[in-house]
Structure 1
């Protein structure tokens, strides 16, 4: 049976406190535990900006239920500074720490900058490096491209060869192509009208849920994360999306 994982992009938002999502009587140090009682997966954004120590990842592992799944966002040093080039040592460091999540490390998301144009050869070399890393090769890999030039058959074939997923990323700012390149589908919702700050309507969610249901029926695992954190919209939309998939 295919798996369904629906959650939010990040969980540690101060504007989710005071009843927006986290009850007033729950201290910030217990937010992850509370989040994990409501969702079975989360996308960690912190690793994009700074790479936590392995002990921090181990702590997250210990604080969450057995069936909880983490998505770790790839380091911006790899995607934005090195731009996927000569990354063997960086990959070793990244996964050397992320392995602290153990079996709960489900997916790694590589988000490329919008000014990074297609380089199929570099992408393939990077994918090959991932396959050679002991931790990475046992983890699903997802690529979120933000420049139009990446959305081409050559890139799709590279991803298909490695069974890596093209992120279906919805927003008004970046391309959104519904091309499936792996036996799992990764969906990211950044907000409809306002980036990170708009609430998806029930009709919009129903439309996207019907697409997800189709992919589920084809035997694919589905990973869905809402990144419209303003006003707690991400939580609200994630819960509704999950309901729609179960109905």
Structure 2
């Protein structure tokens, strides 16, 4: 595809991936994020050259055809990464251990993203409280690779009682990242449980140009750098004691929900701080 959009002058540290949830949102058009007059079919192409990652939220409501994932792959530049939320039909199952075939079907299709696939996010909603045995059996079903490429998994929980030391031990055993929900509405714990981290920041304000005060964006830049360097920011809430690692890791930071119209500006501002 002919590249009609300029890439950012300089991107964030290679191991830090910063973005938003989805790319089709009407308020982003007309100059808020997308240039006035940009045709909708080119929005992904534009967004993937302004940001370094996008979390695909639509997969929660229904998987796409493999050809669609391949198209998205081809519209984005090398180094750009997608993450994707697993389908609700899997996550809402009353028998998690029996979802193996559905997981394989989802992973088999989204594998068409190839080297653009950064991680899969498995989100349980508030009120969903699988037992430790149910959760362990479910995590055993998550494949370690797809089409010969490593596949990373992140787990998001919204039931406060699930956040225990035993949960951390299970996730570390399976090398599954615990999603940090930067939110006032959901439990938010930043324990590092894998060789990558995954943060979803959900506190943007409509009355601020970048969605967040400058000091908060500075703080997120420092946290992202710490995660990527192998650190574990102690100022964030933890279930257990912070556990800095010994090796660099990849870090995903997404600006999600809240004043959604401001999230692209927040992501751009963080990328600028990391450049």
Residue 86 (structure 1) aligns with: 98
Q: Residues 37, 193 of structure 1: CA spacing in aligned structure 2 closer, same or farther, 3 A cutoff?
A: closer
Alpha-carbon shift at residue 10 of structure 1 (Å): 1.0
Two-structure CA RMSD over aligned residues (Å): 2.2
List structure 1 runs of 4+ shifted beyond 4 angstroms: 132-137
Q: Residues 210, 90 of structure 1: CA spacing in aligned structure 2 closer, same or farther, 3 A cutoff?
A: same
Alpha-carbon shift at residue 149 of structure 1 (Å): 1.4
Correspondence 1:221 to 2:250: yes
Aligned 8 A contact 1:170 1:190 in 2: yes
Task: Report the Cα distance in structure 1 between the residues aligned to 2:61 and 2:187, rounded to whole angstroms.
Answer: 23
Higher helix fraction: Structure 1 or Structure 2?
Answer: 1
Alpha-carbon shift at residue 208 of structure 1 (Å): 2.6
Task: Report the Cα distance in structure 1 between the residues aligned to 2:221 and 2:58, rounded to whole angstroms.
Answer: 28
Among 46, 59, 63, the alignment partner of 1:51 is 63
For structure 1, list consecutive stretches of 5 or more residues without a partner in the other structure. Answer: none
Aligned 8 A contact 1:2 1:216 in 2: no
Map 1:1-247 → 2, pairs under 5 A: 3-82=15-94, 84-131=96-143, 134=146, 138-191=150-203, 199-218=211-230, 219-228=248-257, 230=259, 232-246=261-275
Task: Report the Cα distance in structure 2 between the residues aligned to 1:223 and 1:10, rounded to whole angstroms.
Answer: 15
Moved more, 119-128 or 131-140: 131-140
Task: Report the Cα distance in structure 1 between the residues aligned to 2:169 and 2:122, rounded to whole angstroms.
Answer: 17
Task: Report the Cα distance in structure 1 between the residues aligned to 2:170 and 2:249, rounded to whole angstroms.
Answer: 19
Question: SS state of the match for residue 204, structure 1?
Answer: helix
Question: SS state of the match for residue 96, structure 2?
Answer: coil
Deviations 1:145-197 (A, max 9, x none): 10101211111111101111000111110111110001111110122579xxx
Task: Report the Cα distance in structure 2 between the residues aligned to 1:243 and 1:134, rounded to whole angstroms.
Answer: 33
